Amino acid sequence: MVGIYIGSTAAAAGKNLACMALGLVLGRDGRSVGYMKPYGQRPRMVDDRTGDIDAMLVQEVLGQNADPEVVTPVVEPANIRAMSLRGGNALERVGAAYTALSRGRDVMLVGGTGSLFHTGRARGLDGLALVRRLDLRVVLVERYHPHPEGGGIDHDAILYAADVLGDRLAGVLLNDLPESYQRDAEEVLVPYLAEHGVRVLGLVPHDPLLHAIRASDLAVRLGGRLVCGGKGSQRLVEGFLIGTMQVENFMSHFRRHANTATIVGGDRTDLQLVALEGQCPCLVLTGNMPPDELIRQRSEQHGAPVIVVREDTYTVARKMEEILNSQKLRDLVTIRRGADIVAGALDRAALLAQTGIPKGENR
């Protein structure tokens, strides 16, 4: 039996989706695949049993129904006041759960939480401790980070992880790569990492729908209220623009961005109207100022929901960026789409060679 830890050097890299994709691919090839997420930070109660909501979702996709308290032996909320930071035998509990879940399996997937080297350290459950205790190989998932002056993959973080993990590192999946970065990744980054002994197991392209969020969910996450345009509450938002420029410039800029919400001050009726007439999927008004009657009418006509929030435009923009970067997959259609994208980018031969996974019945 081979155990694989799916981790990342930073949070929100796509580890859950990678677990789903790897589990589905290996399962379709005839292997018996088990799964666990030792340390969770998103608790959920099901039939008086506490589990991690992300781990439950991965189990659902993989068609498994193990006890959530065994799949995730330690679940703590992100709020430090609600945490239990002292004492306990957390690592021993994880080890016992891993032994139970791995019986009869060809492959055991162990999903990481947050950062490989930091998250869970207070309980002795950081990724490095888990890898050593459970004797796991590691697949890193590293996500492209956008930047106004040119984003990229944090190759320094990958090389540091490679130095620390040594032979345990099976390889890295480079995730969420925009089309503009693909050639650089193929021609520069992959050879560079190979020179340093790091095998790239796949280049996963960016798909905006995987990070989209419904307008109704966005209102909840922003702590706002949807005041009109309710018939469009299920419209998807993939990005956002900040409406702080002159109307003429804003109109030109806005038309180049589809499925993009507009964040604008509640007093800027001119920009609000331009956004709605330009088929904006969602309008976010800051400063706790409700729209005037004209905006309400246009919102209903176009089916474009209007969300009113208390904070200023800058604060809301920061929140929006965090929400879209960490948006959790919940729609099964979207999950299957994402799993197929990862599976299509995965170098299966390299994965098998680097991890020692046994051949499946269909291979």
- DSSP states along 276-334: HHTT-S-EEEETT----HHHHHHHHHHT--EEE-SS-HHHHHHHHHHHHHSPPP--HHH
Mean pLDDT in runs of 10 for the chain (363 residues)? 97 92 93 97 86 92 94 82 64 96 97 96 94 98 83 95 98 95 96 98 88 87 94 87 63 63 90 85 94 95 95 90 67 76 93 86 53
At 359, is the secondary structure helix, strand, or coil?
coil
pLDDT at 160: 98
- What's the CA angle centered on 44, arms 40 and 45, to 5 degrees? 130
**Residues whose CB falls within 8 Å of the CB of residue 188, separated by 6 or more in sequence, listed in order:** none
pLDDT at 90: 92
| Sign of the Cα pseudo-torsion (71, 322, 287, 298, in order) | negative
Amino acid at 231: K
8 A C-beta contact, residue 260 and residue 281: yes
Q: Name the pTM for this structure.
A: 0.78
Rounded Cα gap, residues 159 and 346, in angstroms = 21
pLDDT at 79: 61
Burial of 86 (0-12, 13-18, 19+ CB in 10 A): exposed
pLDDT at 249: 56
Query: Residue 206 region, left (φ>0) first, then alpha (ψ -120 to 50), else beta?
Result: beta
pLDDT at 146: 81
Q: What is the DSSP letter of 238?
A: -
Rounded Cα gap, residues 254 and 156, in angstroms = 36
- The dihedrals phi and psi of 322, each to the nearest 5 degrees, come to -65, -40
pLDDT at 248: 55
Helices (H), 85-166: 90-102, 127-134, 155-165
pLDDT at 257: 60
At 119, is the secondary structure helix, strand, or coil?
coil
